[in-house]
């Protein structure tokens, strides 16, 4: 599969590795941010298998297992040449005892601890996980200067920023309480911080407006990939498997342990997803890796210039994700897959059942709130 550009001079395998699953269960500020338990040796073997299959981009965060994901990734990095991989790390969710995760002291501390956990001298991409810089953006200017200093001194090669999937670019983009406000906020921070990479969640459960699977842009709207291309920045996308739901492994009776970010997904949502995957099982195979292959191919096609980050938790899964890219799908196959996912979304968002077990708006993806 052709390489994709991340940063100037960096041409990477289009399928990257998400390292949340290997971190195991974890909580941050009383919220589940982890995954199911994974044996450490199995996790490291999975990372090595992905590298052997050609993976070059590995994405982690300080809150994945509260550092455990990073330390396991560090064990893998100790066994491969550093210049063969790109390490993307998200920070900004863990503030410790400070007032803000984005204060200069906290940002420096998060980066230094991440470097120690990973056993490396620098991060290729450092991404901020949210847009909260304290009351009235108290820490924004300091955070920008800190990020620039980290980049200038070589601790970080590139700065990343998370983005909404779709932007409202017209002058009304600062209206409070609407998607316009989210867009205006991102555009403001993009201009203020100047990232080289932006990342966003993309998977077939996302309600609107994916490239190649959406009506024409509304007036004053722009998808994040067009925005990135226009500004000359790279994109990474995450959650292509819908946090595992699109593999078909989970039904309405599935239970997730405390500390697993998926523990907030409701049984009706699990039932809806499981039911609507039936046509894909019948056409492409019922094994979870068959359905994973379909979901990954779908996202790679929708986002033809992005690095798509897929989580792994064991060597078989890692190898199957990459080897599955060798199986070509026809245009007819992609049309069929798109229609199945569209039917799934229609029921998911027309249902009156909350997607997660706390109040949320169904106009958002059921996975949007499970960062």
List, as one string, the DSSP characters of 16-66: EEE-TGGG-S-EETTEE-B-S---HHHHHHHHHHHHHTT--EEEEETTGGG
Task: Give CA–CA dist 216/50, Å, rounded.
Answer: 37
Integer Cα distance of 294 and 246 in angstroms: 9
Q: How many angstroms separate the CA atoms of 83 and 11, rounded?
A: 12
Give the gyration radius of the chain's Cα atoms.
Answer: 20
Integer Cα distance of 47 and 31 in angstroms: 26
What average pLDDT does range 36-63 have in this prediction? Answer: 97
Burial of 324 (0-12, 13-18, 19+ CB in 10 A): middle
> In the predicted model, is pLDDT for residue 354 greater than 60?
no
Could you give the angle at the alpha carbon of 290 between the alpha carbons of 268 and 263, nearest 5°? Answer: 30
Task: Tell me how far apart the alpha carbons of residues 94 and 231 are, in angstroms, rounded to a whole number.
Answer: 30
Burial of 297 (0-12, 13-18, 19+ CB in 10 A): buried
Q: Please report which confidence band the pLDDT of residue 365 belongs to, taking 50, 70 and 90 as the band edges.
A: very low
Angle at 287 between CA 257 and CA 41, to 5 degrees: 50
SS3 assignment, position 265: strand
Closest Cα partner for 154 from 114, 193, 124, 109?
124
Average pLDDT, the chain: 88
Alpha helices in the chain (DSSP H): 40-52, 68-77, 104-118, 140-152, 179-193, 224-231, 267-276, 278-284, 288-302, 315-323, 331-350
Residue 248's region, left for phi above 0, alpha for psi from -120 to 50, else beta, is left
pLDDT at 167: 77
Q: Shortest CA distance to 33 belongs to which of 245, 258, 246, 251?
A: 258
Query: Is the pLDDT score of 357 beyond 80?
Result: no
Query: 1 or 311: whose pLDDT is higher?
Result: 311
- For 235-294, the pLDDT digits (tens) are 999 999 999 999 999 999 999 999 999 999 999 999 999 999 999 999 999 999 999 999
pLDDT tier at 204 (50, 70, 90 boundaries)?
confident
* Residue 338: alpha-carbon gap to chain centroid: 21
pLDDT, average across residues 24-48: 96
Q: Is the pLDDT of residue 171 over 60?
A: no
Token pair recorded at residue 168: 């409202």
Per-residue pLDDT, 243: 94
- CA-nearest of 172, 191, 192 to 182 is 172
pTM: 0.91
Q: Supply 314's token pair.
A: 């064991």
pLDDT of residue 174: 45
């Amino acid at each position: 599969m052709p390489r994709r550009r991340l940063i100037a001079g960096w041409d990477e395998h289009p399928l990257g590795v998400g390292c949340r699953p290997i971190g195991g269960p974890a909580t941050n500020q009383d919220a589940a941010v982890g995954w199911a338990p994974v044996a450490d040796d199995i996790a490291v073997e999975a990372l090595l298998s992905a590298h052997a299959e050609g993976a070059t981009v590995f994405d982690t965060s300080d809150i994945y297992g509260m550092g455990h994901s990073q330390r396991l990734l560090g064990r893998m990095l100790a066994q491969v040449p550093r210049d063969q991989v790109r390490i993307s790390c998200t920070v900004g969710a863990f503030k410790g005892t400070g007032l803000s995760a984005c204060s200069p002291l906290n940002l420096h501390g998060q980066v230094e601890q991440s470097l120690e956990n990973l056993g490396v001298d620098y991060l290729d991409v450092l991404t901020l996980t949210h847009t909260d810089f304290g009351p009235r953006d108290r820490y924004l200017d300091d955070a920008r200067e800190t990020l620039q200093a980290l980049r200038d001194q070589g601790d970080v090669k590139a700065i990343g920023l998370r983005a909404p999937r779709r932007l409202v670019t017209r002058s009304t983009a600062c209206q409070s309480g609407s998607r316009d406000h989210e867009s205006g906020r991102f555009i403001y921070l993009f201009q203020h911080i100047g990232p080289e990479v932006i990342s966003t969640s993309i998977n077939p459960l996302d309600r609107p407006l994916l490239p190649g699977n959406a009506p024409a842009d509304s007036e004053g709207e722009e998808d994040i990939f067009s925005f990135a291309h226009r500004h000359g920045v790279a994109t990474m996308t995450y959650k292509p498997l819908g946090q595992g739901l699109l593999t078909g492994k989970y039904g309405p009776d599935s239970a997730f342990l405390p500390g697993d970010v998926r523990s907030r997904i409701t049984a009706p949502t699990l039932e809806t997803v499981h039911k609507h995957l039936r046509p894909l099982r019948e056409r492409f195979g019922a094994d979870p890796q068959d359905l994973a292959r379909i979901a990954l191919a779908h996202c790679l096609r929708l986002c033809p210039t992005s690095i798509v980050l897929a989580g792994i938790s064991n060597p078989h899964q890692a190898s199957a994700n990459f080897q599955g890219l060798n199986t070509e799908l026809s245009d007819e196959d992609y049309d069929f897959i798109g229609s199945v996912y569209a039917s799934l979304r229609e029921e998911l968002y027309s249902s009156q059942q909350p997607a997660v077990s706390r109040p949320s708006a169904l106009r958002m993806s059921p996975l949007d709130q499970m960062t």
